[in-house]
Structure formats: structure tokens, C-alpha cells
A and B are shown apart, each in its own frame.
Chain A
């Protein structure tokens, strides 16, 4: 009898450690909602402008974080995503302009951008998987390369303005949010239902056992770094669409947000755990904190402190969770 109750209690605690990002997000939203009702007399969340602004703000870091989720599950990290996003933002503008700035030119621009990103991801992946360079260093190298390449491609102005009807549509209203949502759904499916996802977890859990089970670990890792870079590329394209200009530093601040979203969402930096829905919640928490603090008129710098505290908290919970599992 006592065994069962201890088991139940552990089960409840384990459930809580899994669900806390949802509860935290809910708490945040409730807090801002109550504040808005009392102080401003209108709704925080049920107000199209705010909801859209939060989701738009979350979109770009979320795209980066989606690829990053796969990388972190394999116990790697991709530090290059921020500047790969910037490079992509510039490349899509430049190539579209160079090929005539038509709708077809836009497609060429997007294809070229994804190709550039795929190559960048292939290099990172090859460094990590085949040449044994630690992910932290390999992708830090690509961070520098993409950063330089982005500014060089942008030319003297550092940003490239572009006025293209297709691109404008892509950046209008809910479109970036819907694009991000669809991609997120697809990647959630890939991670949870396919062999590609299963092998991603297996590699993060025990690289050797994955290799012994016949999984081509090196190839799989390279694919994952390519995936990560391509999602950064899509982030860059969406950025250029929203602002009608590509900037080489478009993703500079998004790198850490993307890692934070993955970690808050329940992934361990030691690999083996994490999922796309968790990452979504993590990104939303960050966006709600950032937007909400501005909304209640707190000095913008408090955002950094708040997000920092949440990251530390989530890592502590992750470690505590592991201890509980071992105790059970």
C-alpha cells in the first residue's frame, strides 16, 4: 500500500515537473490579464493587436528554436543560427533583386537562400559529426563565417531594402504566424512519429547504442544541422518579408532566445529529451514576458532579468527531475 502511494506521489511530482512550463505560461497570462483589466480597463490577451504582436514576436525565435530543438536533443548546440538567419535575410533580398524582383525571382531568392543555409548547416554538421569538432566550437566558427558573409553580402548599407509584392504578402498580418505554426506542426510530427525523430532521441540518449543498432549516426547528425540552418534561413526570409529589408544582424538577439525557448520547454542540454510543443511553450513564455513587461510599463531591461531567471529555474527543475527519477 505504501509503495503505491509513494509511486503516486512521485508520479504527481514528475507530472508537475513536466507540466510546469504550461502552468507558468498560464500564470503569466493571468497576471497580465488581471493587471490589464484593473489598470487599463481592457483585456491583455483577448485583444487582436496584443495577441498578434506576441505571436509575431515569438515567430522568428521559434523558427530558430524548432531546428535548435533537434540539435539539442542530440546533445549538440547550434550557435550559428542567429547569424545564419541574418545571412539568409540579406541573401533572399539580394538574389530576388538581382534576378529581377518578380514573383519568380522571389522563388529563386528563397531557393538560393535555403541552399546557402543548407551548405552552412552541412559544414557545421560535418565538423561535428565527421571531424569530431565539439558542437559549441564548430557552430561558433560558422557563427563568425555567417556573420561576416552576411555583412559582406549586404554591402556598405548593412541592410538591403526590397519591395516585392510576394514578399510583402508573406510578411503581412497573420501570415508569418501561420507559416511558423504550420512548420512547427510538421516538425512536431517528424520528431514524435517518424524514424527520423526516433533516431534523433536515440542519438541523444546513447550515441554508441544508436550506432550499434545500425543507425548512420554521422549522416543523421549532418541532416539535423542542415535542418537547423534551414529553419534559421526561413526565419531570415520571414524577417525580410516583415520589414521589407534584409539585415545582416537580423538574428543577433535571437540565438540566445532560441536556446532559452528549447531549455524552458523541457529539453536537457545533455541531450535525449525535449520536444517541439515544449519549445513552443518556451518561446511563448519569453515573448509574453517581453511584451507583458512593456505593456505594464516596466523598464525594458527587466525583460533580460526575467527571462534569465526563468532559464535558470527551468534548468534547476530539469536537474531536480532527474534526481527524482533516480530516487524512484
Chain B
């Protein structure tokens, strides 16, 4: 299938440090692409380029085959590239509906003035959670989201992205802060997104998660592409080897001798 989003030969420098060197990636609708790599390998930098936070010094982005120039994250969101950050970026003091609509509140006229359409926000909140099969009692739906569990909050962040018709969904360590049952729930959600034709880019430290849900794995090492594998043609050992590279090989030789 033709990739919905493509990055070609991306390079970016911070001061004298080359954070990304000539990295390319592509992701198709309904595909889950995992980004693997050690700390500092450039995973976060890469997704920040794709989501419009950083501007690459070299290389190009393509969306649906056409060149894509992102001035800022709003630009990316307008295109349907949504990012779910590790810290979820929810306003803890606001309710579910307010978080889904944050920055894009629906308005209606009351007493001759435009006011926020809270009934619609509540209705959509319920719909979004139902669609993801997340159970939240009515009372908590209208309360601040800080009273919800980590998994429920993660679901709200995902739900927000889907509601706004994300075509590419970037997820940074979506299970890092969750308990095991909730991790499973999030994995299910990702499977669901795949079925709906959303392209997912997943950053994770957890190889178990990656092998559970991804189709393809792209491994970064010190800002460079260390390798790209289809999940069904690789295993954890190979991915780890690609992640740590020579260092790992060296230790292995050392122990062998």
C-alpha cells in the first residue's frame, strides 16, 4: 500500500550534535510502525520532526504523496497527524469532553451570545468512550479527568485523536505508566485503530508490546537508521542487537573468550 506519511533523508542538528542523520521512514494506512532504539537514539527527535515541533535541516516530508511543510504542531494536526505524548497532555482539572475538544470547542448561541456547547461535548465524550469500549461512570464523566485511571486517561487521549480524524497517530511510550491490564487494553485499542485504517507510529521500550502489535520495526542507533525489519521475519534478539550494535557484539565476544 502507498504510504500515507513519508520522511525522506531527514537530518537535524542541535549545536554541534547530529541528532538525526539521513533517516527515512514511511507508514501506510492500517499499519503499525514501531520505532525502537536506546535512550538518545533519536526516536523522540524523529517524531517531533513528523509532528511539526522541529524543523529538519535536510530532508523532506510527504503526506499522501504530496510534499508536506509543517510550520508547527497545529499544522500537523490540521493534516490529521496527531501525537499522543508520554504525559498524555490532558488538562487534569477539566472533564472528558473538555479535554477532547480543548482548543476546538463547539459553540452555540444562547441569549444572543456564543457560548460553549457543553451538552454536545458531553454527548461526544460518551460516544468516544463507547467507541473505544471504555467504561466510565456518568458521574466521573462530568468530573475532572484526574479522578480517572491511567488507562482511562490514555483512552481519552487516543479517543481525542480519533475523534479529530487522525490519519496518522504518533504514540510516545503509551504503556509506560500503566499497569498490566491497562497495557493490554491500550494494545487492544491500537489493534482497533489499525482495523479502522489509521496509520500508527509507536515508540516503545517494551519489545513485548512492539511484537504484540507492530507490523514493522525501525531501529535507530545514535541518530542513524540501524535497520528495518518486518515483525514476522525477525525476533527480539535481532532487534536488541540492532539497538545496541557494536557495544553488544563486543561484550558478547568478550564473554565468549
Question: Scoring B residues 94 to 112 as 1 if CB is less than 8 Å from chain A, else 0, what string do you get?
Answer: 1000100011110100100
Most chain B beta-carbon contacts within 10 A, residue among A194, A195, A212, A272: A212
Please determine whether A215 and B103 come into contact, CB atoms closer than 8 angstroms.
yes
Please determine whether B89 and A208 come into contact, CB atoms closer than 8 angstroms.
yes
B232 interface hit (Cβ, 8 Å): no
A273 interface hit (Cβ, 8 Å): yes
Chain A positions 280-297 with a Cβ under 8 Å from a chain B Cβ: none
Please determine whether B103 and A193 come into contact, CB atoms closer than 8 angstroms.
no
Question: Nearest-CB distance from A320 to chain B (Å)?
Answer: 16
Please determine whether B92 and A213 come into contact, CB atoms closer than 8 angstroms.
no
Please determine whether B98 and A212 come into contact, CB atoms closer than 8 angstroms.
no
Residues of chain A contacted by B77 (CB below 8 angstroms): 214
Q: Residue of B at shortest CB range from A322?
A: B146
Stretch in A27-35, A112-120, A198-206 with 4+ CB within 8 Å of B? A198-206
Chain A positions 1-51 with a Cβ under 8 Å from a chain B Cβ: 7, 11
Residues of chain B contacted by A206 (CB below 8 angstroms): 89-93
Please determine whether A213 and B115 come into contact, CB atoms closer than 8 angstroms.
no
Q: Give Cα A325–Cα B116 distance, bound, in whole angstroms.
A: 26
Q: A193-B115, A202-B94, A328-B147 are in contact. Are A214 and B103 (CB under 8 A)?
A: yes
A210 interface hit (Cβ, 8 Å): yes
Residues of chain A contacted by B208 (CB below 8 angstroms): none
Question: Nearest-CB distance from B33 to chain A (Å)?
Answer: 22
B85 interface hit (Cβ, 8 Å): yes
Q: Give Cα A301–Cα B105 distance, bound, in whole angstroms.
A: 49
Q: A210-B91, A212-B85, A214-B74 are in contact. Are A202 and B147 (CB under 8 A)?
A: no
Chain B positions 99-141 with a Cβ under 8 Å from a chain A Cβ: 102-105, 107, 110, 114-116, 139
**Interface residues of A: mostly helix, strand, loop or mixed?**
helix
Please determine whether A272 and B103 come into contact, CB atoms closer than 8 angstroms.
no
Residues of chain A contacted by B150 (CB below 8 angstroms): none
Chain A positions 207-266 with a Cβ under 8 Å from a chain B Cβ: 208-210, 212-215
Q: Give Cα A214–Cα B103 distance, bound, in whole angstroms.
A: 6
Residues of chain A contacted by B102 (CB below 8 angstroms): 198, 202, 209-210, 213, 215
B73 interface hit (Cβ, 8 Å): yes
Q: Residue of B at shortest CB range from A216?
A: B103
Q: Residue of B at shortest CB range from A325?
A: B147
Please determine whether B116 and A193 come into contact, CB atoms closer than 8 angstroms.
yes
Most chain A beta-carbon contacts within 10 A, residue among B77, B93, B98: B93
Q: Give Cα A195–Cα B115 distance, bound, in whole angstroms.
A: 8
Please determine whether A201 and B93 come into contact, CB atoms closer than 8 angstroms.
yes
Question: Nearest-CB distance from A108 to chain B (Å)?
Answer: 30
Please determine whether A198 and B105 come into contact, CB atoms closer than 8 angstroms.
yes
Please determine whether B116 and A212 come into contact, CB atoms closer than 8 angstroms.
no
Question: Nearest-CB distance from B7 to chain A (Å)?
Answer: 21
Please determine whether B93 and A209 come into contact, CB atoms closer than 8 angstroms.
no
Q: Residue of B at shortest CB range from A207?
A: B91
Q: Residue of A at shortest CB range from B103?
A: A213
Residues of chain A contacted by B146 (CB below 8 angstroms): 325
Residues of chain A contacted by B105 (CB below 8 angstroms): 195, 198
Residues of chain B contacted by A273 (CB below 8 angstroms): 93
Q: Residue of A at shortest CB range from B115?
A: A193
Please determine whether A201 and B91 come into contact, CB atoms closer than 8 angstroms.
yes
Please determine whether A205 and B91 come into contact, CB atoms closer than 8 angstroms.
yes
Q: Give Cα A325–Cα B139 distance, bound, in whole angstroms.
A: 13
Please determine whether B115 and A194 come into contact, CB atoms closer than 8 angstroms.
yes
Residues of chain A contacted by B88 (CB below 8 angstroms): 209
Chain B positions 64-92 with a Cβ under 8 Å from a chain A Cβ: 73-74, 77, 85, 87-92
Most chain A beta-carbon contacts within 10 A, residue among B88, B94, B146: B94
Please determine whether A201 and B94 come into contact, CB atoms closer than 8 angstroms.
yes
Q: Residue of A at shortest CB range from B140?
A: A328
Q: Give Cα A199–Cα B144 distance, bound, in whole angstroms.
A: 15
Please determine whether A272 and B93 come into contact, CB atoms closer than 8 angstroms.
yes
Q: A194-B116, A214-B77, A325-B147 are in contact. Are A204 and B98 (CB under 8 A)?
A: no
Chain B positions 128-167 with a Cβ under 8 Å from a chain A Cβ: 139, 144, 146-147
Please determine whether B93 and A212 come into contact, CB atoms closer than 8 angstroms.
no
Residues of chain B contacted by A7 (CB below 8 angstroms): 139
Residues of chain B contacted by A328 (CB below 8 angstroms): 147
Please determine whether A198 and B98 come into contact, CB atoms closer than 8 angstroms.
yes
Question: Nearest-CB distance from B80 to chain A (Å)?
Answer: 15
Chain B positions 201-239 with a Cβ under 8 Å from a chain A Cβ: none
Q: Give Cα A215–Cα B73 distance, bound, in whole angstroms.
A: 12
Chain B positions 41-84 with a Cβ under 8 Å from a chain A Cβ: 73-74, 77
Q: Give Cα A193–Cα B108 distance, bound, in whole angstroms.
A: 10
Residues of chain A contacted by B144 (CB below 8 angstroms): 325
Q: Residue of A at shortest CB range from B146?
A: A325
Q: 3 tightest CB-CB pairs across the interface, nearest first? A: A213-B103, A272-B93, A205-B91
A-B contact pairs, 18 of them (CB 8 A): A193-B115, A194-B114, A194-B115, A198-B94, A198-B102, A201-B91, A201-B98, A204-B93, A205-B91, A206-B89, A209-B90, A209-B102, A212-B73, A214-B73, A214-B104, A215-B103, A273-B93, A325-B146
Chain B residues near A (Cβ < 8 Å): 73-74, 77, 85, 87-94, 98, 102-105, 107, 110, 114-116, 139, 144, 146-147
Assuming A206-B89, A208-B89, A209-B89, what are 18 further A-B pairs, CB within 8 angstroms? A194-B114, A194-B115, A195-B105, A195-B116, A198-B116, A201-B93, A202-B91, A202-B94, A205-B91, A205-B93, A205-B94, A206-B90, A210-B103, A212-B89, A213-B89, A214-B103, A272-B92, A328-B147
